[in-house]
Structure 1
Amino acid sequence: MAFLIDFILHIDAHIANLVQSFGLWTYLILFAVIFIETGAVIMPFLPGDSLLFAAGAIAATPAGLNAGLNHWVFMFVFFFAAVLGDSLNFWIGRTGGYQLIRHPMIGRFIKEEHIREAEGFFEKRGAVAIIIARYMPIVRTFVPFVAGISQFPYSRFLKNSVIAAFTWSLIATGAGYLFGNIPFVKAHFSIIILGIALVTLLPTIIGIIRSAMISRRQKKLSKK
């Protein structure tokens, strides 16, 4: 966990090291991170938004340019990683969702409150939830899973997943490319990355707290 926090806070330095060590292979490495964060139901804690922002920023630096990195390529790499990850997650939910939740080992990583939050979010907003969830860490990992469990039509899911992934990768990577190397941003990069993480996590945290409060209230009413 300490390594993960350090990775998120100093993600610019870590990506710079990747670029220096692996050059164009950085595309594949970051593709894998986003694909796993989106597609593996038990990995919702991997960095998403902050990684896209940092990758966009690195693409605008001399090191990124010398390595042949391009922010447009990054955008499409993240786009395909998100769509493919969403689809994998959907089919995991469709083919074995409940078995995974009840599994003694895997079930430990799939928190019941996260599933409840995603279910409520999906039921309330329907197909639009797929687009909105893309901008919400943790929830974006569980909404495709819940969509698969609920037998939501895959064609509709894929259409919304494509829209969500395209806008997400364009905005987050583009913002990093345009603003990530401004002197003030560079000087306070760790704070800004932490701010991005907190802001994107805020709706999820509020939703989980609200869900817990409603559940507690219902339990009190059932006891009366």
Structure 2
Amino acid sequence: MEIFNFLFHQKNHIDFWNFFQHLFNPRWIFLYCGKTAIFILLAIVFAETGFFIGFLLPGDSLLFTAGIFGEDLCKNFYNVPFFVIILIVALVAILGNIQGYWLGYKSGKLLYEKKDSFFFKKKHLILAKLFYNRYKTTALIISRFLPMFRSFAPIIAGAIRVNFKKFMIYNIIGAIIWTFSIMLSGHYLDKNFPELKNHLEWIILLIIVTTMIPIILKLRIYKKKIFI
């Protein structure tokens, strides 16, 4: 209910359209959403790996920004330690992967027959499968740091019927490494360089470019494999 109270009682009367536009601005989420910010963070982290639309969402930059605004998150969530916040985010990331796994497990074969749409591209599925075949179950760890593969890796794991216990081991390891490394980086960088908040847009742009470079390189490699 907090999310709806926030939307309808802000002084600036932010409408739903503007709200969803702001979802792609991590700084805005933590500056203006107050107690709701933690729930928006968790919803985006879950959706990133639980649904096809996930690759469109700002996962890495959102976690990094969450680290920078870690103290505010803690104050707005019962004053729990920041360590607990990261654990909760990691748990939701694990649950998101489980959702993605079962999505692939139940409809894996049908996905290859699905027509392309704005939220679904078959080529992303094929590339993710090649990526998974190359790195096996460790792809679940590596993919956490690659936006597109992060969304499709658990779906592929379910589609090809990876042993669920083995899947869970790498799922848990990947989620913990991803959340702790990025959120703690933002948290401690802000401690040592508090002026980071004033240049957050550039930092987020750098994170996006950095995570996209390996994707572009792998896309070129995998495209060659597909057409050879």
State if a TM-score over 0.5 links the two structures: yes
Residue in structure 2 matched with residue 11 of structure 1 by the alignment: 26
List structure 1 runs of 4+ shifted beyond 6 angstroms.
Answer: 2-6
Q: Structure 1 length as normaliser, TM-score?
A: 0.83
The residue aligned with 1:191 is 202
On the 8 A contact 2:108/2:160 being kept in 1, the answer is no
Listed as ranges, the gaps of 5+ residues in structure 1 are 219-224
For residues 17 and 69 of structure 1, what CA distance do their matches in structure 2 show? 20
Matched ranges for 1:37-186 at <5 A: 37-60=48-71, 63-64=72-73, 66-67=75-76, 68=79, 70-104=81-115, 109-180=119-190, 182-186=193-197
1:171-219 CA-to-partner distances (Å, cap 9, x unmatched) read 1111111113524422321011111111112212211122223434x2x
After superposition, give the CA deviation of every residue in 1:8-37 in whole Å (9 maximum; x if it has no partner): 4x4223321112xxx2x4322211111011
Query: How many equivalent pairs are there?
Result: 209
Deviations 1:102-134 (A, max 9, x none): 234x76533222112211111111111111111
**Paired letter, 1:190:** E
1:6 to partner: Cα distance:
6.3
Q: 1:16 to 1:115 in 2, by over 3 A?
A: same
Q: Deviations over 1:30-85 (max 9, x none)?
A: 1111101110123311111111111111123xx44543364223211210111001
Query: Aligned to 1:203, which of 214, 220, 227?
Result: 214
Question: Structure 2: how far apart are the matches of 1:90 and 1:107?
Answer: 21
Segment of structure 1 superposing worse, 75-84 or 155-164: 75-84
Cα RMSD (Å) of the superposition? 2.5
Distance in 1, matches of 2:225 and 2:90, equals 36
| Structure 1 equivalent of residue 40 of structure 2 | 29
User: Kindly tell me: are residues 30 and 6 of structure 1, through their superposed partners in 2, closer, same or farther at Cα, counting changes over 3 Å?
Assistant: closer
Task: Please give the alpha-carbon distance, in whole angstroms, between the structure 2 residues aligned to 1:111 and 1:198.
Answer: 22
Q: Is the 8 A contact 1:39 1:85 kept in 2?
A: yes
Higher relative contact order, structure no. (Cα contacts within 8 Å, ≥ 6 residues apart): 1
More displaced, 67-76 or 134-143?
A: 67-76
